[in-house]
Every structure is written in structure tokens, then in C-alpha cells.
Chains A and B, each alone.
Chain A
Amino acid sequence: MSTQRYVARAANVAARMIGGEMMIMSGSDSSLYSLNETASILWQAADGVTPLAQIVEQHICADYAVDAATALRDAEELAEELARQGILVLSDAPLPDSRPPAKASA
């Protein structure tokens, strides 16, 4: 039986959508990251309370021709990588996160 997983944006990062590209700056070492389209979707939906599976179903599967199991597996790998970089928090329990979505009009 698989466990629900939750993702939240790390508290000390800075982020902005610039020219359609999500730029993330790590708070720990000021490293800069650029997220691709699907990673940006995951990042923006990472509110800490919506299960990752639900994010994938609502925001990935709905818009991309990919089956749910594959999409979830890819999303988990991506989330684990972003967590290793310290810009996302991954948990088996909901994570409180009051941050609004990053403004994304530029």
C-alpha cells in the first residue's frame, strides 16, 4: 500500500516566474535553479496539504498525455531531487505552509 506524500516549498527560498520560467534561489547557499514546465507546475501547486498524487492528477495528467502511475513516479523522483537541493520539502504527512503562490505575471 502506497503512502500519501505531501510537498511544500522550502521556507527560505526566493522564487519568481520570469519570462515563463520559474527561477528559484536557495536560501541556504544562494544557488539559482531554473525549473522546467512540469517542475514549475509541481512547485506552484506544492502547498503542503494537497497530496502529491492529487497534484499530479489535477495538474499533470489533465494537461499531458501521460498515465497517472508514470506521472506520479516521475513527480516523486522530481520532488525528491528538489528536496535534496533544499528548495522543496517532502513529507508523508501534511505540511503547514501559508505562502501564497509566487506571482507569475512577468
Chain B
Amino acid sequence: MSGLMHELGAKALKLGIPLSVQLDLTYRCNERCVHCYLDHDDHGEMTTPEIKDLLDQLAAAGVLFLILSGGEIFLRRDLFEIVEYARKLMFSVKLKTNAVMIRKAKAKRIADLGVASVQISLYSHRAEVHDAITKLPGSFAHTIKGARLLRANGVRVIFANVLMKHNVDDYAEVQALAAGLGVEYSVDPTITPMLDGDRSILGLNIAPEELEQVFRDSTLVGNAEEFCAPPSGPLAEADALDSLPCSAGHTACYVSPYGDLYPCVQFPLPSGNVRNTRFLEIWQNSAALKEVRAITMAELQGCSSCVHGGSCSRCPGLAYTEGNMRGPSTQDCEKSLARTGVPSPNLLQKGPATKPEPAAGAGSQRSLSGNHAVIWMAAQR
């Protein structure tokens, strides 16, 4: 991160400005990925005028980074009208798509509109593996063609490679494929619960020993020795009092196709709905967001004294879907264990080889993570 970007983030935090918003335009999709968290029916998406009005509000609130995602965004017939409007409001626009529907004209239009980047989900370099995950025959060929067309038009493209049991052995070849196409590469080894609270897809997560292997691959993590270094101990008390768990709800938030606002796509804490309340009113006055903002590292139960405190990637959204946003995120505890070989107090309490269990009361909560889980490693073009 550049110095100026860091300064911008700090300034936004101090002033309470939502620097970055992810807006899902639809949950409908032309693929049926085995690990997806979504219900693909349309339950009443925001209309074009509603979205344009929301974009006006976001610009006025100071949002600079706008991520348009789904579902598959190209299933919205008004997608380009929305992107064009967003660009006129001078957002930095990032698109997330499977690229299956991108043809020559669309690729050129994306380039002409000055879209900052397009993130494309790609699961394997092998068509049969990719198509088996998406359950859409021919999707691999279309996705690669879409990526090529975008690159031919000078668009920055990033492959998002979610790892699961089906494709864990393929990531090196996907990296090579990305490099050959002039595409950046990012990998995400986390499968998270479904929208309706169903945690059965967690069984798709890669095995602990495979996660260890991923964490020791310097092509993914940079300096593997440093990345997997023994835990540095809990945060110092003064740091813990000042430190915030992450940007969710502080300088970033998420809006669903139905106008529901959450701290993050991975943090489905209902915070308001932009269809009946102005965005800024929710952002500034929502009791839920105020509660999120009140949490510091010092008061995280089981985390503030954990030996991984200084290096843990704890996701408050995953902790929330486990039942306590002030508690640990077991999946992140497992990552820390895979990195360092040292179990967290949370894992020790759960016992050996314990997998996260559905938390009481979490079944009816919305989990919006799945294939939008944190992309935690990104290689430069």
C-alpha cells in the first residue's frame, strides 16, 4: 500500500468516511458453483433509478472505491447504464464477474468506461475441473475468452482462485495461466457458510495439511519463512486499545441487491436498508454499525490475549457468523495454526481436529461470504 493510500485510509477512518463500498447488483447467476453461498432467485432487486440514487448518495458521502458484484453482474441488462453513471460520478469502479458473457463489444465498453479492474473467478487451468465446480459446461472456455478480450483492450484483470478440495492441486497452473495472459492472480483458501446458515459446504474446505502447503508456497505468500514465523505474542495493551479489527463498518460497507446494508459482504450484521433510509443516515447513526465501531482488539474475547494477536487475520464477520462478533473466528484460528503450528486458545478449548460448528442463533443469519471470501494473497502482474 502506498503512503498516500495509507494516509487516505487513516483520514477516512478519522472522519468516518465510507471510502469503499461493495454493491451486489443481483444474486442471479448463470453458474451454480458448488461452494456458492447464494440463493439465486430474484427477491426484488433494486431498480435502475434506485441504484442511481444510491450511487449519488455514495458519492456525496465520500465513497471513492465502488465494487460492483453479484451473482453475475452481466445478468443485469442495465449493467452498463449503472457503470457509466458510476464513472460519471468518478468512482473507481471494480467489477467482479465470471466473464462468461463478455464478448468483444462488452470488453471494449468496459475499457472505454475506465473501469479500474475486473476480477474474474477461475477455479482451474483444466476445463473439466473448472466446469465441474461451476456446473456450467463450457464456462472455462468462455471465461478465458472473456479475460483475453479484456486484456486485449488494456483492462486490468485479476483471477480470483478460490481453493477447495476439487482444485487445490491446480493453483500453480492457474498462476501460470494468469501470467501467460497478463492477468494478476489472487488466491483464497476459505469456503464459508451459505446464506441460509447452512454450513455443509464447509466440507469443501481444503485439508489442514494442504493449507499448510499453500502457506509455505513463496509464490503465493512472498517470504514464506516470515509468513509462517512463530507467533509474536499478543498485541501490546496500548496497541490493543487503539487497534480496530478491520475496516468493515469503519471505512467500508456492503449493500445487497435488495438494499440491505451490512458492515461487509462477509459480515452480515443487519444495519439498515437504503430503500427506506438514506445511506448517510444509516452509515452515521445505525446502532449496529456503532456497535461494530465500538469494538477494539483489547476487548475481543479469547483473542486479545492470544499469542497470534499480532499476526492473526481474524475476520469479525466470520466470528459473527459463528455467533459472537467479539469472539474468535475459528477458520482464522485454523489458518494461524496452519501457518505457525501453534494452536490458539480457541482451538485448544475446542479440542484436536475440531471443525467449526454452527453457532446457536446463527442459523437464521445471512452469511454472504462464500466465493467472496477475503482474498488474502495477491501477486502482482
Contact = CB atoms under 8 A, between A and B. Distances in A.
Nearest to A29: B156
Contacts of B89: 100, 102-103
Contact of B15 (A19, A31, A32, A102): A19
A66 interface: no
Contacts of B88: 98-100
Contacts of B17: 18-19, 106
A5 interface: no
Given A19-B11, A19-B15, A25 B116 contact: yes
Given A18-B12, A19-B11, A106-B15, A13 B62 contact: no
B312 interface: no
B59 interface: yes
Contacts of B56: 103
B59 A103 contact: yes
A102 B62 contact: no
A11 interface: yes
A60 to B, nearest CB: 22
A23 interface: yes
A95 B91 CA distance: 22
A18 B64 contact: yes
Nearest to A102: B90
Interface in B104-132: 114, 116
A8 to B, nearest CB: 13
B63 interface: yes
Contacts of B19: 18
A7 to B, nearest CB: 16
Interface stretch (B1-9, B75-83, B225-233): B1-9
24 contacts: A12-B114, A13-B114, A14-B64, A14-B65, A14-B90, A14-B116, A16-B91, A18-B12, A18-B15, A18-B62, A18-B64, A19-B17, A27-B114, A27-B116, A31-B2, A32-B2, A32-B5, A100-B89, A102-B59, A103-B56, A103-B60, A103-B90, A105-B60, A106-B61
Given A11-B114, A18-B64, A23-B8, 6 more contacts: A15-B90, A18-B8, A18-B19, A25-B64, A103-B90, A106-B61
